Structure 1
Amino acid sequence: MSGMLAGKVAVVTGAGGGIGRGIALAMAAAGAKVVVNDIGASLAGEGTGAGPAQQVADEIIKAGGQAVPNTDSVATRVTANNIIETAVQTFGRIDIVVNNAGNLRDRVFHKMSEEEWTQVIDVHLNGTFYVSRAAANYYREQESGAFVHMTSTSGLIGNFGQANYSAAKLGIAALSKSIALDMARYHVRSNCIAPFAWSRMTSSIPANTDEEKARVTKLQKMEANKIAPMAVYLGSDRASEVTGQIFGVRANEIMLFSQPRPIRSVHMSTGWTPEAIAEIAAPAMKHHFMALERSPDAIDWDPI
């Protein structure tokens, strides 16, 4: 099969539905051989099964592509290694890793349980590390490879009731930058996508107030398969000079996100005291303080 990813082997985690399914299908259509990973669990994490992964793999094969299902969890080192080994043992190599697997355990911070915190960190942040780390040795040996990680504006900007998810997603952005720096010498690239899309996971977002209902209505207009073209591009050789970046994809709109840099500094030649900070430094910087915003506050225009 010809295309931008011809000859490449890709792993897409959480590919049994939604955004991951769209990415897996698009990568196969672009010529990649795909490991379709999905544990087949419910949104609450209950049950497992090969159904979703097998169905997507079957779709790819029916369309003339090559794919294999995998149901290992991203949340442990051993099972994450199994995901990458499925690619290597089946197709002989690994070129692209898309860390898309996710879950939600939304709860206001002061009521969040340790289990709700750990379950989300394990899948999103630890899972991204484990799967990426499993691929890293192969990338280093072959001196090539691409990572595409899913971050979120919940972490980049902020959101209510998602301390676990926000922390994990902002951590993924930092992890991606570190991977990009550490592995640049091996021609390995690492980038993030912050997707705006309606999927099985986002369908659990509360819609009780008028504001929440309006937000969900907007999300429902954003098709999950709109994320796939950016993932295909970032996995391709056409993006050979693109690394350490954070992109947003919302319907037909692509955004490039800024990353934290100093925006103001103040200096005191004799050194600072707490009183001097209160009287001089804080007032001097106050104009530049970031507002306490959520994603819909900062990205307040409608998608086209």
Structure 2
Amino acid sequence: MAKGAHGSRQAAWEFFGAELKRRREEAPLTQVELGARVFVSGGYIGQFEQAIRKPQLDVAQRIDAVLQTAGFFERMWRKLIDDKRYADYFAKAVGLEQVATVIEEFEPVVVPGLLQTAPYAWALTVTTHPFATEELIGEKVSARLERSGILKDATRPRYWAILHECALRTPVGGAACMADQLEHVAATARERKAFVQVVPFAAGAHALMGKSLRLMEFEDAPPTVYTEAAYAGELLDDPAMVKRSRHAYDLLRAAALSPEASLALIDSAAEDFRRCTSTT
């Protein structure tokens, strides 16, 4: 069911791209010409048309204005991105994530969404929605796995994830689930699709105690910070706040283990969980 939901949504984005190409050519405008008018590069227009990347809402609105499509692309955007599979406070961050060229994030308790496996995401979702139907849980897991698709694209962002050791040791979904999850994180790092570091328990206090943080950079827009607490999230683009967040992230990076030592710790934690499965 989750796989089917992902496939149908991808097909809808492919339709979005095909319509964009058709209406652009009818204008007639080249990708570069349309890009100049909506304040993105011609290459981005090409990626939108191929459903490789997804536009931000304001870009979809400007495309409607330039191509005189009476809000068609804005309506499609809202249906595909601004949907109830995501919490309202997170939906806009998802849209930005799709067009970011750099994503740097820290998670203090759980494995970041972009690195989660389906069983791990399912276990987390059941924990936070204990009375939800199987269908609703499947939709939310599908949405999370769909997000991780950006790390598979040829145009994937430069992704840097810092995890606290707590995220490695908390047995979400049981020992087998955690072993698979940590092996997936390690494999993603070794395939150079992500740069992963771990802040060990031994580091003690650090610059982002108990706070998740995501820094995003873009080709044609200023950087943005997304922070999240329980049932609330906030996007910040004020330059002073972005600068402070960058400073905190750099301090955290300095407190983390080296990439090599981080992978060794992830491997060790995975082996610990794997041993638990063999003794039960």
Regarding TM over 0.5, the answer is no
